[in-house]
Structure 1
Amino acid sequence: MKSEFEVRRFTALVLAADRGPADPVAAMAGTCCKALAPVAGVPMVRHVVEALQASERIDRIVLVGPARHLLAQDASMTQLLDTATVSWLEPASSPSTSAALALARQPADSPVLVTTADHALLCREMVDYFLQQATASGHDFVVAVTPLDTVLARFPGTRRTGIRLRGGPYCGSNLFAFMTDDARRLASFWQRVENDRKHPRRVVAGALGFAGILRYLLGRLTLEQALQQLSDRFGVSLGAVIMPFAEAAIDVDSPLDYQMVERLHAQRNQSIPNDS
């Protein structure tokens, strides 16, 4: 029997497919796809993988995309895939479909963390915090959110899509924990969220019905109420972890995001303690 103090270990799926060189970030970086755009001289997706590798809560890492011939163009990624803990799967037509197919390949009793290749500021502390809280929550499915105020305090002027809930707004943070096999039924709903992610009202309306959208529009719906109604609708227990890290809400969705992430990594690398 496992000790209650034993760390529960996850398989991590990194969704790394995109629109190829037509993606504006890939075009700016001059790369074949966004996932391989260099950040501080390292492919963006490698920063994500290294953050996951640093966490003792991650057992295996699966890259879902980009296409294998694209990965072969980067020697560091080819070397990474030669390790025992990192593997690769062919991506599907969209992130949510890729996630659903990859989830179906994992053992039913294995908890799974899903994140994205453009989560370029991800670090071990974020991964550990989220997975510790998700494990303790007792929910089937857990999503990370970051208060918009937390993001703007750290990154004034940045543009993020916030879901307007009482106590929020909250920004999505590209960390999803599928704690049980039941949670994997949410993949179809995730596809709807993916399609409407820039239109939070549509997500709330479709999932919670007329009463839910009315409370949302009036600013009276709390995060807990929204999650409870979703749990009731889908028969799966949903929870959220409110992240204290502003960086958790930053994904590289545009050239401006890419420039900001490059700047932040450069500042980290050039940071020298001041002895004066």
Structure 2
Amino acid sequence: MTQQAAAEAPFADALVLAADRGASDPVALDAGTRCKALAPIAGVAMLERVLGALETSRDVGRIHLAGPPRAIVDAEPALAEMLGADERYWHDSRSSPSASAAAALDEIERERPVLLTTADHALLDGAMVDEFLESARARGLDFAVALVRHETIMARFPEMRRTATRFADGAVCGCNLFAFMTPAGRELAGFWQRVENSRKKPWRVIAGTLGMRGALRYLAGRLTLEEALNRLSSRLGVRIGAVMLERPEAAVDVDSAEDRRAVEALLAAAAEH
């Protein structure tokens, strides 16, 4: 490969978390599908939409799926067809999203940056992915998280309910877009598992993550986002940063039947213009 070709080649893999609670998932129940990833949005399975978005990204090469479980893959011709495409790889899911991510990451070349997203990111597109990855790369981060300001989402989607994390400099919403940019960044997968295991004790999670002083500042509404990320980076020994995306669609995922119908309405409205 020439130097120019190497520079133009996709520099990251993508990992899509595609497991869920199976047919008991509320979105799967509403859609009548075996799993949430196969629930259609405007006639196209959510997972197929996400895979298509990743394939239009200039920065993503190979695509890995963690889940759905093998029994569902074997029973669903549509899934088998999705997995039959070149540069797509299936990994068995584990007991939780963090465990699934950690297991899949162990099977991906350690030096390779990995974008992590979810199968329910129905409005994802390649431009969104590239903006996120290129910002994380330019800043030399080990691990990056994509965020959108809550006010940006409410201005565009006033009826949509999104969970927001409030800092002294404003509230932000997650986008289900993360990037393990370096081998050091992959250590965050283990940290994620510890957080998941302690999710029923939120005070312990906050204190363990930010330190007691940082936790008190957060609870008092005095902690900024940058301060929180700096504290987390210092405690974990990695460079963690947030990439603020301007497009509110980046923070829209499908967690309920209502979300599914809202996204279908958005796509229908976009098609009319």
Inter-partner Cα distance in structure 2 for 1:200 and 1:159: 22
TM-score (structure 1 length as normaliser): 0.91
Instruction: Give the Cα–Cα distance (whole angstroms) in 2 for the partners of residues 261 and 74 of structure 1.
Output: 24
What TM-score does the superposition give when structure 2 sets the normalisation length? Answer: 0.92
Match of 1:142, SS state, is strand
Secondary structure of the 1:164 match is strand
Note the 1:113-262 alignment, pairs <5 A.
Answer: 113-194=115-196, 203-262=205-264
Taking structure 1 as reference, are residues 13 and 154 closer, same or farther at Cα in structure 2, changes over 3 Å only?
same
CA RMSD of aligned residues (A): 2.1
Matched residue, 1:263: 265
Contact 1:64 1:88 in 2 (8 A): yes
Kindly state the Cα deviation for residue 196 of structure 1 after the two structures are TM-superposed: 6.8
Counterparts in 2 of 1:172 and 1:192: CA distance versus 1, 3 Å:
farther
Q: Distance in 1 between matches of 2:22 and 2:8?
A: 41
Shift of residue 71, structure 1, vs aligned partner: 2.9
Amino acid at match of 1:49: L
Q: Distance in 2 between matches of 1:77 and 1:85?
A: 15
Distance 1:199 1:115, change over 3 A: farther
Provide the residue aligned with 2:33 in structure 1.
31
**C-alpha contact 1:163 1:200 (8 A) present in aligned 2:** no
Distance in 1, Cα, partners of 2:96 & 2:254: 17
Tell me, in whole angstroms, the C-alpha distance in 2 between the residues paired with 1:160 and 1:202: 24
- Cα 1:139–1:168 change in 2 (3 A) is same
Does residue 1:17 correspond to 2:14, yes or no? no
Following the alignment from structure 1 to structure 2, what is the Cα–Cα distance between the partners of residues 148 and 200?
A: 22
Identity %: 52
Gaps in structure 1 of 5+ consecutive residues = none
Q: CA deviation at 1:198?
A: 9.8
- Number of residue pairs matched by the alignment: 271
| CA-to-aligned-CA distance 1:130-164 (integer Å, 9 cap, x gap) | 11111111011011111111111111032111111
Cα distance in structure 2, aligned partners of 1:182 and 1:212: 23
CA contact (8 A) 1:161 1:198 kept: no
1:192–1:261 Cα change, 3 Å: farther
Letter in 1 for 2:180: F
Q: Is the 8 A contact 1:10 1:111 kept in 2?
A: yes
| Kept after mapping to 1: 8 A contact 2:10/2:58 | no
Q: Which residue in 1 is equivalent to 2:112?
A: 110
The equivalent residue for 1:42 is 44
Alpha-carbon offset, residue 188 of structure 1: 2.2
- Structure 1 pair 23/168, CA: closer, same or farther in 2 (3 Å)? same
List alignment gaps of at least 5 residues for structure 2: none
Residue identity in the other structure for 2:244: I
Partner of 2:93: 91
CA drift at 1:218 = 2.1
Paired AA for residue 106 in structure 1: I
Q: Distance in 1 between matches of 2:82 and 2:262?
A: 26
Letter matched to residue 267 of structure 1:
A
Deviation (angstroms), 1:62: 0.6
Change (3 A) 1:29 1:196: farther
